[in-house]
Structure 1
Amino acid sequence: MSFLKNIFGKKEIPIKSYSDFWNWFQNNEKTFFNVVKSHKHIEKGFFDKLSPKLAELKEGYFYLTGMYDDNTVELVLTADGNTKNIVFIEELVEQAPKINGWKFTALKPALDIENVAINMAGYKFDSDNIFYYSNDHSDYPDEIDITIIHNEQTEENKQQIGNGIYIFLDNYLGELDFVNNIDNLKIIGKKEAEKELVPIAKLKDFLTWRQKEFIEKYDGVRYDTSEDEHSILEAELESGNKLIAVINTQLLNWDSKASHPWIAVITFKYDGSNNNGMPNESDYQTLNEIEERILQQLSDKDGYLYIGRQTANGERDIYFACKDFRKPAKVFFQTQQDNNKFEIEYDIYKDKYWQSFERFRPNY
């Protein structure tokens, strides 16, 4: 038996929880430490082993590594800007054990401007050639709309410049602040600028000031939906299929929408081919039960406002406006894992004034 064990090797325990991952990591950390410190074969000796283990937990974990100091390896786990995955990065790092010689960091940290210089695709990105200005909108006073200017951007290279700018801002602002503090971002060349250019080194202080104002204005703002009435909106699509939406149109007229800037949408795909795009009776009941379970977890008093749902063309979309993106990401991911009857997708994005739902407002 021992001979067979040696031939086939020891079967690795599947990674089903954060503790499973960290137990595996601790068993291999000395090897990983030496690989990173030697600066040799990091891809093969560390990343190729790390990546599949993270993927067993969930898709969407990315990573960076290097020497924090002479005796410490830093492993930065990042969502690569994907809002849906940030909470899972944070939770994994929160549960990291203390391991001598290792520093674990959730999300890319902010760097001082003098430490951010990127060379990419033949272009340089630093404080000497990147500027910004802010755009104000009277209809959307709390929206932080930023235009970034790179001296060398042209129509031909805008994709390469755009990619470099996003990486630059991720490192300069820090991954979480980049997601939280900018609502709209446009990247242009110097010739397209319509306002006075401000050095990019001043952007961080500007965003901190705007975010402080925003928090002071909306901190603690909640909305009680229990007395609201929902409107039933019906339409016939060009295909002849039905569209039915049940929407809290009263909530859509609220004047403090910006206090709940994150829109969370979960989509269930079913077979509506024999019913004008609508679910059959069994699917209809199951969808309602799933929706009710979601509503029990995402309540208005906690900052998750149920906007309503739309059903058409073999899909049901359920909409929330949220104070924060973390809990909806967890609830939607778990809903996806728990239900194999439907194909389920979800998205979470910033829309401070709920412009996504203008189509549901009366007289729009």
Structure 2
Amino acid sequence: MNKIIVLTLMLSIFGFGKSMAQSNNSEEELKGIIGEYYEDGLPVIMKFVNELPNQSVMDKLPILAVISWKYDGSQNNGMPLKKINKRMILLEEALEDSMESSKVFTHAYSRTGNNLKELVYYTTDQEAFITMLNRALGSHDEYPIEITFYKDKEWAEFKNVLKDFSE
């Protein structure tokens, strides 16, 4: 898979990267990546903090939670249309707001492209994540999402993302 790093930025400027992985020093900014690669000839945009959290954080969050939103991007080179993208942003912002006050999950990465949006998190357990999700989205209209959980105590999925983008 040919991956090209598009932009490196300080994610806290946009409110991303705040989580259990961040130290108690609120002034600290985590370095993040927005990158692009191609899948089936279509661009896919990735967003993630470009480092692993400390081991104690990884130990507390052994479950990978993948929120998937399939959409029709055939009119937009595999990307969501503007109306759908606005709803995706609402979903992501609600989760980011919850992450600031929650100790049950942290953001791993997000991807958008090739007719699929994925928001990927590490969490303490499935039930706590679903409870937080229902609380965060209680006032929202229903989203066409699927949630899949995987055991990933070693954070292998996120380590693969870091490895792929370091090459």
Calculate the TM-score normalised by the size of structure 2: 0.70
**Cα gap change, 1:278/1:262 in structure 2, threshold over 3 Å: closer, same or farther?**
same
Matched residue, 1:343: 144
Asked if 1:242 is matched to 2:43, the reply is: yes
d(CA) in 2 for partners of 1:332, 1:268? 15
* Residue-by-residue CA offset, 1:147-186 (whole Å, 9 max, x unaligned): xxxxxxxxxxxxxxxxxxxxxxxxxxxxxxxxxxxxxxxx
**Cα gap change, 1:273/1:345 in structure 2, threshold over 3 Å: closer, same or farther?**
same
Q: 1:223 offset after TM fit, Å? A: 2.8
Q: Is the 8 A contact 2:21 2:53 kept in 1?
A: no
* Residue-by-residue CA offset, 1:265-324 (whole Å, 9 max, x unaligned): 111122211111111122212211111112222337523111120112211110111223
- Unaligned segments of structure 1, at least 5 residues: 1-221
Q: Is the 8 A contact 2:73 2:80 kept in 1?
A: yes
- Unaligned segments of structure 2, at least 5 residues: 1-19
Determine which structure has greater relative contact order: mean sequence separation of CA pairs < 8 Å that are 6+ residues apart, divided by chain length: 2
Calculate the TM-score normalised by the size of structure 1: 0.35
d(CA) in 1 for partners of 2:138, 2:69? 9
Matched residue, 1:288: 89
Asked if 1:260 is matched to 2:61, the reply is: yes
**Cα gap change, 1:304/1:269 in structure 2, threshold over 3 Å: closer, same or farther?**
same
* Residue-by-residue CA offset, 1:230-256 (whole Å, 9 max, x unaligned): 21120122x321111001122x26333
Asked if 1:224 is matched to 2:11, the reply is: no
**Counterpart code for 1:229:** K
* Identity rate, percent: 25
d(CA) in 2 for partners of 1:333, 1:346? 12
Asked if 1:330 is matched to 2:128, the reply is: no
More strand by share: 2
d(CA) in 2 for partners of 1:243, 1:311? 5
Larger radius of gyration: 1
Q: Secondary structure at the match of 2:125?
A: coil
Matched residue, 1:56: none
**Counterpart code for 2:54:** W
Q: Is the 8 A contact 1:336 1:345 kept in 2?
A: no
**Cα gap change, 1:332/1:346 in structure 2, threshold over 3 Å: closer, same or farther?**
farther
**Residue 98 (structure 2) aligned to one of 297, 300, 304:** 297
Q: Secondary structure at the match of 1:282?
A: helix
Q: Is the 8 A contact 1:300 1:306 kept in 2?
A: no
More helix by share: 1
Q: Which runs of 4+ in 1 moved over 6 A?
A: none
d(CA) in 2 for partners of 1:360, 1:327? 25
d(CA) in 2 for partners of 1:349, 1:318? 14
Q: Is the 8 A contact 2:104 2:129 kept in 1?
A: no
**Cα gap change, 1:321/1:300 in structure 2, threshold over 3 Å: closer, same or farther?**
farther
d(CA) in 1 for partners of 2:99, 2:72? 27
The size of the alignment, in residue pairs, is 140
* Residue-by-residue CA offset, 1:78-128 (whole Å, 9 max, x unaligned): xxxxxxxxxxxxxxxxxxxxxxxxxxxxxxxxxxxxxxxxxxxxxxxxxxx
CA RMSD, aligned part only?
2.6
Matched residue, 2:113: 312
d(CA) in 2 for partners of 1:333, 1:344? 13
